[in-house]
Amino acid sequence: MSALLTESQISETLNANPGWSHKDKALVKRFKFETYMEGIAFVERIAVEAEARGHHPDMLIRYAEVVALLSTHSVGGVTYDDVGLAQSIDKIYASLVTR
């Protein structure tokens, strides 16, 4: 089981991973797309990565916007499992969006 990150570790994580914030014991980031289907394709790619890791994020889909919320529910907050998944999600986004 992963250990909770300290506030200092979370701050370091946020500095190293632009666009992510810490809210309600989770790492949170909004991703914008041109179309609804682009957002769905993004969520599908995240689902494959999450399943491979055995670590599943909460995802909100709002037309052409997807919000990722990463928290290790079993320990009640952010762990390095969440940080690793956040970095993978950023790579997935970069591979889908060329803006």
pLDDT mean over 88-96? 96
Q: How many domains does the chain have?
A: 1
Per-residue pLDDT at 98 exceeds 60: yes
Report d(CA 14, CA 83) in Å as an integer: 9
Q: What is the CATH number of the domain that holds 67?
A: 3.30.1360.20
Domain assignment present for 2: no
Domain assignment present for 23: yes
Report d(CA 94, CA 86) in Å as an integer: 12
Domain extent, residue 72, equals 7-96
DSSP β-bridge partners for residue 32: 65
pLDDT in tens, 42-68: 999 999 999 999 999 999 999 999 999
Radius of gyration of the chain (CA): 13
Question: Which residues, other chains included, contact 35 with Cβ-Cβ below 8 Å and sequence gap of 6+?
Answer: 64
One-letter amino acid at 7 equals: E
